[in-house]
Structure 1
Amino acid sequence: MSALFTPLKLGSVTIPNRIGMSALTRNRSSATVPNELMREYYTQRSTGGAGLIVTEGALITRQGTEWTDAPGIWEQSQVEGWKKIVDSVHVAGTKIYCQLWHLGRSSHPEAPEQIAAGVPVYAPSAISARGGKFRFLPGAPGYVTPTEIEDPTVLIALFKQAAINAKAAGFDGVELHGANGYLVHQFLDSTSNKRTDKWGGSAENRARFAIETLKALIEVWGPDVALRISPAGGYNDMGMPLAETTATFGYLLREVSKLGLSYVALVRYSPMFDLEYDGKKRATQHDVVASLSPFISGPALFVNAGVTPAEAEELVGSGKAAGVFFGIPYMTHPDLGRRVKAGKPLDNAPDFATFYTPGADPKLGYTDYKEAVY
């Protein structure tokens, strides 16, 4: 595993190896404030050998998410909570990015945080996503028809303020969540964006929101800005025909390659994120890395979704990728980086029931996975 364990310069920092921990929603914050249990979780994974950690999605404003107890990054108490986590992660020599997250139409107007926000559920167009389940609301309702945002620059300003807050918390950079059918992805996809102004229509217009948001983040962070996209994902009712997918994301990647980003994370096709609607799978299945990596020049390419340690070594060693992200394996193996380096198996069985729904003891399935014997 020699290729994986070489340093890599990302933006203004250097990570000690090419193994990244992907953003992973876990729902353990105290309402929207990062807490001590989260600090323990992230610290375990930094001392366990991660070169780069990306936080779970940090909400940039109050939203009615289908996940309760998701952390935010819009107010001072959250900044203070994240700072304790960042400081602890840095002790191990690991770098950490904050993933900036807005759910767009995947929020619900009756969720407590959305009610507290006092604003509608905003999206590029007034088109409801199929599916969804808000288990904490009576009857477990699905998604609703959102309100079309009149001026998308209002949302870009929220991302910029969140980036300012992330800098105050001591993070090493920020990753824009442009994947999995959330707000940025909703602007990109022609099935969720039916606007006729400069923010919709052509691929160039649909990519405008992502590009302008990245520019706003760069004003705060310089080169320490990254982008995550899932061109093959059907989650949250996403998915365009293959030719349109390639044209849209190809244009996006050509343009963001000019911005001086630190990295782009390409999320490959995963059955977990290919949901069925009206009897048909939604995702646009294709080899994301093969079709879209030629459009990336400048930012480091990270590959995510279903990567094994052996494949990770091949991807980095062959130059197909600068690094890899592990998701579920990092949930169940706090020492994943050390295991890979030592040739230890990834043999902790996942407890899927605790991934997103904590029980009476939130530590179970979160900070209680065992490390290997070295």
Structure 2
Amino acid sequence: MAELKALFTPIQIGGIELKNRIGMAALTRNRAENTYPTELMKEYYLQRIDAGLIISEAILITRQGTEWPHAPGLWDDKHIAGWKNIVDAVHEAGGKIYAQLWHVGRAAHPEAEQQKLAGTPVYAPSAISARGGKFRTIEGQPGYVTPTAVEDPQVIIQQFKDAAVNAKKAGFDGVQLHGANGYIVSQFLDSNSNKRTDKWGGSIENRARFGLEVLKSLVEVYGHDVAVKISPAGGYNDMGMPLQETLDTFSYYISEVDKLGLSFIELVRYSPKFDVEYDGVSRATKHDVLASYRPFIKNTKLFLNADVTAQEGEVLVSEGKIDGIFIGFDFITHSDLVKRVFHGKPLDNAPDITHLQTNKTSGDWRTGYTDYPLATY
């Protein structure tokens, strides 16, 4: 504990105080049957209650044909009730939880069950397909398709705002915009996926407009209890621009985000696991994300994600370079991660890769989800 004093110092974000600075990042686990939260999901979140802040798995703001047919939603009263059941339990156990709001844009498929139920095309900034993708639950396991350019992006901005209203009804402490990993906010920012000639495309200011307008709409609902996840290095879902364009785009975007009075920015640094290759060429734009954009974050708390260990996080927080860390994958395999860090226990559970998400051969959905062993204290 003495070696990790900074990480276990409480911190105020927005209207809540976190008991420590080790956050649980959003993790898609694909266990919301037909998009509705379950009792099993409640058990999963309660197991991880020691996190300073839990970010929910990414929650769809409208029906979309994602690679995960059992990703949860937040667009009707049944969703609100299901999430309220989870949020209330988290609060009763002394935890804090944000809802991560998600629109996948072109990373959807028209033949996926939820997309067909939606009765709408796969929408994106422009009619440009991402490379890659594999929809394992669709016959033939197809890849990404050419999307339909959304005529009026304001429609999707309203869907984000509506989802935030529903998140508030469910009792979430705040909301985080999923603005990373090649989903719709990233698609608007990236000049390779956004070829629009209206006010939503072209210049850096225009490409940044969508993400900024979504955040402003969320602030109208939640005030300062709004956060955003940003991944400037790209790679995943066919994202990535040349280095100078990346630096110029994200320096502007992050500096504008910093003016909105958000609770925190979650900055995802370069990680080899997101460095996807197409035709033998890396898609990611490898650069020092923290050093590049930290100078533009002057008014907002900053949390760092992507392969950050507790020991590294302690140093960065102690030096004032960040305010906290988010850990993702290790929280899957160690529900008692914070307690292990506190007591100096190793993170030594082997991941059940086959059951990270449910698939056609999954039986008991607890397998690889809520059945990892605890350390001995």
User: Would you say same fold, with TM above 0.5?
Assistant: yes
Alignment of 1:306-345 (within 5 A): 306-345=307-346
Hey, what's the Cα distance between the residues in 2 that align with 1:269 and 1:355? 22
Aligned residue pairs total: 372
User: CA offsets, 1:176-209, max 9 Å, x none?
Assistant: 0000000011001111001111100111110000
Task: Please state whether the residue corresponding to 1:204 is helix, strand or coil.
Answer: helix
5+ residue gaps, structure 1: none
Matches within 5 A, 1:258-297: 258-297=259-298
2:64 maps to amino acid? Q
Distance 2:59 2:278 in 1: 28
Summarize deviations over 1:226-259 as a string: whole Å, max 9, x none. 0001111200000001111111111011111111
Aligned to 2:140: 139
**Alignment correspondent of 2:356:** 355
How many Å apart are 1:279 and its aligned residue? Answer: 1.4
Deviation (angstroms), 1:103: 0.5
Root mean square deviation of aligned Cα: 0.8
Alignment partner, residue 84 of structure 1? 85
Moved more, 249-258 or 166-175: 249-258
Kindly indicate whether the alpha-carbon contact (under 8 Å) linking 2:160 and 2:218 is maintained by their aligned counterparts in 1: yes
- In the alignment, the residues of structure 2 paired with residue 339 and residue 319 of structure 1 have an alpha-carbon distance, to the nearest angstrom, of 24
Per-residue CA deviation, residues 80-133 of structure 1 (Å, 9 max, x unaligned), is: 111111111112322100000000000111111101101110000000000001
2:34 match: 31
| Contact map agreement 2:30 2:68 (CA 8 A) in 1 | yes
What is the rounded CA distance, in whole Å, between the counterparts of 1:279 and 1:320 in structure 2? 35
Check the 8 A contact 1:332/1:369 in 2, yes or no. Answer: yes
Give, in whole Å, the separation in 2 of the partners of 1:84 and 1:45.
Answer: 16
Structure 2 letter corresponding to 1:154: V
1:22 equivalent to 2:25? Answer yes
Question: Bigger CA drift: 335-344 or 161-170?
Answer: 335-344
1:39-71 C-alpha deviation (Å, 9 max, x unpaired): 00000000xx21100001000000001112000
Give the aligned partner of residue 122 of structure 2.
121
User: For residues 1-374 of structure 1, what are the structure 2 equivalents within 5 Å?
Assistant: 1-46=4-49, 49-358=50-359, 359-374=362-377
Cα distance in 1, alignment partners of residues 166 and 324 from structure 2: 27
Letter paired with 1:212:
E
* CA–CA distance in structure 2, aligned partners of residues 287 and 278 of structure 1: 25
SS for the counterpart of 1:232 is coil
CA distance in 2, matches of 1:363, 1:274: 30
Q: Which runs of 5+ in 2 are unaligned?
A: none
CA distance in 2, matches of 1:356, 1:58: 15
Q: Indicate the SS of the match to 2:106.
A: helix
For the residue of structure 2 that corresponds to 1:88, the secondary structure is helix
User: Secondary structure of 1:258's match?
Assistant: helix
Query: Could you tell me how far apart the structure 2 residues matched to 1:204 and 1:78 are?
Result: 35
Instruction: Give the AA of the match of 1:111.
Output: A
Q: Contact 2:69–2:114 at 8 Å: present in 1 too? A: no
Provide the TM-score with structure 1 as the length reference: 0.98
Please state how far the C-alpha of 1:297 moved relative to its aligned partner: 1.3
SS in 1 for 2:326: strand
Amino acid across the alignment from 2:317: V
What secondary structure, in the 3-state scheme, does the structure 2 residue paired with 1:25 have? coil
1:264 Cα deviation after fit: 0.3
Whole-angstrom distance in 2 between the partners of 1:298 and 1:263:
9
Distance 2:285 2:201 in 1: 21
Contact 2:69–2:113 (Cα < 8 Å) also in 1: no
| CA contact 1:333–1:370 (8 Å) conserved in 2 | yes
How far residue 357 of structure 1 moved from its aligned partner, in angstroms, is: 3.1
Q: Give the whole-Å Cα distance in 1 for the aligned partners of 2:342 and 2:88.
A: 25
Give the whole-Å Cα distance in 1 for the aligned partners of 2:119 and 2:34: 17
Q: CA deviation at 1:356?
A: 2.0
Residues in 2 aligned to 1:356 and 1:251: alpha-carbon distance in whole angstroms = 36
The DSSP-based 3-state class of the residue aligned with 1:155 is: helix
Moved over 4 A (4+): none
2:105 and 2:184 in contact (8 A); partners too? yes
Instruction: Tell me the distance in 2 between the aligned counterparts of 1:260 and 1:320.
Output: 19
* Cα shift at 1:161: 0.1
Residues 29-38 or 83-92, more deviating: 83-92
Query: Any idea what SS the aligned residue of 2:158 has?
Result: helix
SS state at 1:106 partner = coil
